Amino acid sequence: MHSTHFHRFGYSDNLLTHANYISRQVAFSPVEIPAAEPAPLVSAIIPCLNEELTLAICIKKVTEAFTRLGIQGEIIIGDNGSTDQSVEIAKSLGARVIHQSVKGYGAAISAAASAAKGKYLIMADADDSYDWSQLDIFVDALESGADFVMGNRFAGGIEPGAMPPLHRYLGNPLLSGIARLLYHSPIRDFHCGMRAFTREAFQKMATRSTGMEFASEMIINAHRAGLIIHEVPIKLYPDKRNRPPHLRSFRDGWRHLRLLIAHAPDRLYLIPGFTLLLLGAIGLALLAAGPIEINGYYFGIHFVALATMSTLIGLIAVLLGVLAKVAIAINHPIAESRVIPWLMRSHPLEWLVFSGSVLAIAGFFADLLLAFHWIFTRGSMEQSVHIVFAISTACIAGVLMVLAGFVLQLLLDSLNRHDSDTSPQGPGV
């Protein structure tokens, strides 16, 4: 501002000099901005529900491991509504507490992991059954290129009293074996509670489960996302708490099994379904005209009934398998298979309604012709029993296809809306 302006409004030369000084200081003095804290390399995730007896032990082990390894890390407690001193203990030891009102092991882990800032996330229970001081094993595996690292208690050793015999010799081996069979997974210990993953991998896994079955869903989704999975041996120690664990053997075992089976429609529905459908259709085609004899073996009406049952069960399984694939894709976008885009562009409703209607109408009129034949000839119907089974099967199959077509279209519409809602939106006009 020029001096003439100051004098015009009655300002003195001293005030002008002071104003010029201030303006130069503001214009040229550097502004000091506090340096941002470096992002932690590792976030230790500990789920917690009334763990005051052992939580401090775990936090101290993590802290000591960070110091020994020279790792910048953070400790996050996913508290699930503790009513003891767990939260106070965690805060006093420098841990960050994330409160999760939704009950469940998976809910607590997800809340804590979502709040994590580390590049690598390592999770384990708060009962001191896993050795937090060995977290460098997991960090090394992640640094070597793995996206997801599982501990293997059976390879590392199980201390006496650390795992109930029912879990050690039946539950874990059985569920892990079923999981390997259904998902072609190389993981030997599917339910180890100590595991690690990158923050990006956690986002890709997009888990939804809130209970103990969360552990299985993580691995299923890791395979679906094409993550690089490693397994490292770790030791399991006895639980240090003076109360029973939160795990309930049969309830949580069933939840794991239910999730494993429900998320494998190919092996639950489609492969058995197509097999039964093919065998049943061949049987009906061979026996529709009447009984046959092959190498001295007689195939009569009983085998027609079996072929009918096989055909219908197979068709129902195939239709349910397709519906299940779409339903899974709605709830778990990461699970979308190659069949979904094909269904989206192939007009399945019209195809199923048309072919199902042809089968149903053809079967109905064929049965009608047989009924008229019986009315006018008043003859025996025994000669046409086989063909009636085949015709009735075709009629029932057609009706099932039409009904399934409408349900499939509803699911596809829902999936399409879901994809539209979650797709990135461009700038508004």
Is the domain of 78 the same as that of 151?
yes
CA 421 to chain centre: 20
Classify residue 16: in a domain, yes or no: no
User: In the chain, how many domains are there?
Assistant: 2
Residues 371, 364: Cα–Cα separation, whole Å? 10
Q: Which amino acid is at 133?
A: S
Q: Which amino acid is at 366?
A: A
Of 262, 291, 311, the residue that ends a domain is 262
Classify residue 1: in a domain, yes or no: no
Is the domain of 134 the same as that of 247?
yes
Does residue 312 carry a pLDDT above 50? yes
Span 212-240, average pLDDT: 93
Classify residue 222: in a domain, yes or no: yes
What local confidence, expressed as pLDDT, does residue 317 receive?
Answer: 97
Q: What is the torsion angle, in degrees rounded to the nearest 10, for the CA atoms of residue 371, residue 377, residue 382 and residue 386? A: -50
Does residue 27 carry a pLDDT above 60? no
Classify residue 89: in a domain, yes or no: yes
The pLDDT-based confidence of 336 (bands split at 50, 70, 90) is low
Nearest to 155 by CA among 137, 178, 139: 137
Question: What residues does 205 pair with on adjacent strands?
Answer: none
Integer angstrom CA distances of residue 151 from 154, 182, 285, 345, 428: 9, 21, 53, 43, 47
Domain that holds residue 339: 265-420
Classify residue 223: in a domain, yes or no: yes
On average, the pLDDT of the chain sits at: 86
Angle in degrees, CA 75, 96, 125, rounded to 5: 50
Name which of 40-49, 59-68, 273-282, 290-299 the model is least confident about. Answer: 290-299
| Owner of token pair 């939106």 | 425
Give pLDDT tens digits for 173-208.
999 999 999 998 889 999 999 999 999 999 999 998
Is the domain of 232 the same as that of 278?
no
Give pLDDT tens digits for 44-59.
999 999 999 999 999 9
| Owner of token pair 């499939």 | 408
Is the domain of 313 the same as that of 402?
yes
What local confidence, expressed as pLDDT, does residue 5 receive?
Answer: 46
The CATH number that applies at residue 96 is: 3.90.550.10
The pLDDT-based confidence of 347 (bands split at 50, 70, 90) is confident
Of 213, 230, 262, the residue that ends a domain is 262
167: its two tokens: 């879990």
Name which of 116-130, 190-204, 358-372 the model is least confident about. Answer: 358-372
Of 239, 262, 285, the residue that ends a domain is 262
Classify residue 142: in a domain, yes or no: yes
What local confidence, expressed as pLDDT, does residue 304 receive?
Answer: 92
Which residue has better confidence, 33 or 308?
A: 308
What local confidence, expressed as pLDDT, does residue 6 receive?
Answer: 43
The pLDDT-based confidence of 247 (bands split at 50, 70, 90) is confident
What whole-number percentage of the chain has pLDDT above 70? 85
Classify residue 11: in a domain, yes or no: no
